[in-house]
Structure 1
Amino acid sequence: MSREQQLRGVEYAELVAFLAVARDRSFRQAADALAVSPSAISHTLRALEDRLGTKLVNRTTRSVSLTDAGRQLERRLAPAFADIEGAVQEAAAGADKPAGTLRLTVPRVAAQMVLSPILGQFLADYPNIRLEITVDDALVDSVADGFDAGIRLDERVRRDMEAVPVSGALRGVVVGSPAYLAVAGVPTTPEALSHHRWLNYRLPFSGRLLPWEFSRAGKEVALSLDGPLTTNDVDLLIAAALDGAGLACITEATITDHLDAGRLVRLLDDWCPPFPGWTLYYPRNRHIPPPLRAFIDFLTAQATAATA
């Protein structure tokens, strides 16, 4: 008898409940997602733990976390169940009517630049698709955490993933307010930045400061200096620069309005070359669920139109 034949309906339900708890880290949210009571979820998960003979979830009154065995089980089950869900959705809806849930993980800047401008149109074009978007600047493991796809800068996408460009090239620029520059002066070389007040961005996935990188005529310069402000929030960084607290290095496309209005001044322009932009990524050699296929096609069309 095959494993599929041995897997009774109750055992399948146990695994579905476990994955819901593992994804949401909440019995109540998992219960809402599965349209059952939290006590039913708790009972089902306890039955699974008893059947496997191992503890999968640590539960307190304040938090839910996975044990090592739970994390290992989630890592193996999530991709398989995503394939099953995608196949069922495709069979039920048909290729011309994609339906189902699409789970995405994206950093905040990508959410603002790539997703915000197109969400309304996409949801109007595909009314049977439900998007679940988690905004997180950390480099999460999209597969292990149950996401169908994610968006990152091209250089941060693992090579074992399929990657689809969804934006043009980007550029980091050094900016300051006119009031700050009137007092501190205008730097004309990267080295001159050492005499200025730095507003730093701390990378959430490594904890280190984002270096300011420059390039011109084959010369490469990377600087990292302390300053009066360090934050992992881009909006706070922009606000501090606007208030004249110092200089910041920010993705140019996120501050176009401030540059055009003269509230911020672009510095060392010829030292700031472009770099590859945002990429949508998903597991290679995996069945692509219809909602993800529709999303890929939609984003690709939008990116093509923007560069035409």
Structure 2
Amino acid sequence: MRKSTSKPPGKPTLADLQAFMTVAARRSFVQAAGELGVSRSALSHAMRGLENTLSVRLLHRTTRSVSLTEAGERLLGRLRPVLSELDHALDDVARDDEALRGSLRINGSDGAIRHLLQTVVPRFLAQYPQMELDLVSEGRFVDIVAEGFDAGVRLGEAVHKDMIAVRISDDLRFLAVASPRYLRKHGRPALPGDLQAHRCIRQRLPGGRRYRWEFARHGEAVAIDPPGALTLDSNTLMVEAALDGLGIAYVPEPYARDALARKRLVAVLEDWCPAIPGLFLYFPGNRHIPAGLRALIEVVRAEREESGAAP
């Protein structure tokens, strides 16, 4: 009998498995291809090859989105701990090397990323010149694990309780601010309820709903859906609109600090604006912490200690 010359099925490459995890995290071939530095067609071809190698369909494809099949979900669940352990092994090797190498992907709000750039990033890159930082600024709150980030940076009140959080800033306040010209024309509110008679610059949150302004004093809390003809989705733009005399804006104090110091803006209702937990670097506590992230945490703590800030 003639022997078969067919080859046994091959095994997926590590690169293909990592590419699959990137597609699974991004749910988009375009975004995943951009992150991996390959063309969309090359990535799609690689995923077809992976499915053919495994003889199972892993991805549902439409013209607008990508989702996982049941088999894809199972594979993703099995790959995460395996590749995490591989990262752990590589980190152990990196720690034996004098120069730390690798990359960190961090997601945060625009203000959070700006704070990192002004405080921690210069020191970190100077200390670890062979490390790369990929900082993604966006308003929406994302699942950092599902979307492939090593860590996130957000206000403390937004960080989930199952995350490990490291403080990177002092507590901060949201302040209601307006230009002197606006206040001369429309008067100064004395109580949160007085805002109903004012022009307010409202904020649209990433999910689509408008932000309700929250005030508190002596244990009394008030939430206001302020009136106004202008709605924006950026704290920076809200400050600019307030500077132009278009109304009262309610923004994190750092965004308005320079204009307040130069008296181009005036804070109102200050006694109704208590401090809230500041910014925190956070990451899941149930998986291995990359060596680069541990190094970043050490830089954060050293930076705060040297500045005399509270831990």
- Sort the TM-score into its range (normalised by shorter chain): 0.7 to 0.9
After superposition, give the CA deviation of every residue in 1:98-119 in whole Å (9 maximum; x if it has no partner).
Answer: 3211111111111112333332
Instruction: Tell me the residue number matched to 1:172.
Output: 174
| Secondary structure at the counterpart of residue 239 of structure 2 | helix
| Secondary structure at the counterpart of residue 276 of structure 1 | coil
**1:271-290 maps to which residues of 2 (within 5 A)?**
271-290=272-291
1:302 partner amino acid: E
- Looking at CA atoms only, which structure, 1 or 2, has the larger radius of gyration? 2
User: Does the CA contact (< 8 Å) of 2:29 and 2:43 recur in 1?
Assistant: no
Find the partner of 1:33 among 33, 36, 40: 36
**1:264-275 maps to which residues of 2 (within 5 A)?**
264-275=265-276
Instruction: Tell me the residue number matched to 1:220.
Output: 221
**1:91-240 maps to which residues of 2 (within 5 A)?**
91-94=93-96, 97-204=99-206, 206-240=207-241
| Whole-angstrom CA distance in 2 between matches of 1:78 and 1:248 | 44
Change (3 A) 1:142 1:254: same
| Whole-angstrom CA distance in 2 between matches of 1:72 and 1:254 | 45
Q: Please state how far the C-alpha of 1:163 moved relative to its aligned partner.
A: 1.1
| Secondary structure at the counterpart of residue 227 of structure 1 | coil
| Secondary structure at the counterpart of residue 48 of structure 2 | helix
User: Does the CA contact (< 8 Å) of 1:30 and 1:41 recur in 2?
Assistant: yes
Aligned residue pairs: how many? 298
1:17 partner amino acid: A
After superposition, give the CA deviation of every residue in 1:202-260 in whole Å (9 maximum; x if it has no partner).
Answer: 221x4322221222222221111231111211111111111000001011122111000
User: Does the CA contact (< 8 Å) of 1:176 and 1:264 recur in 2?
Assistant: yes
Change (3 A) 1:68 1:108: farther
1:233 partner amino acid: S
Change (3 A) 1:252 1:163: same
User: Does the CA contact (< 8 Å) of 2:123 and 2:299 recur in 1?
Assistant: no
| Whole-angstrom CA distance in 2 between matches of 1:167 and 1:238 | 21
Q: Please state how far the C-alpha of 1:87 moved relative to its aligned partner.
A: 2.9
Q: Please state how far the C-alpha of 1:17 moved relative to its aligned partner.
A: 2.3
Runs (4 or more) in structure 1 with deviation over 4 Å come to 36-40, 68-76
Find the partner of 1:87 among 51, 73, 89: 89
Instruction: Tell me the residue number matched to 1:19.
Output: 21
Percent of matched pairs sharing the same residue: 39
Q: What are the ranges of 5 or more consecutive residues in structure 1 without an aligned counterpart? A: 1-6
Q: Please state how far the C-alpha of 1:304 moved relative to its aligned partner.
A: 2.7
Q: Please state how far the C-alpha of 1:148 moved relative to its aligned partner.
A: 0.8
RMSD of aligned residue pairs (Cα, Å): 2.7
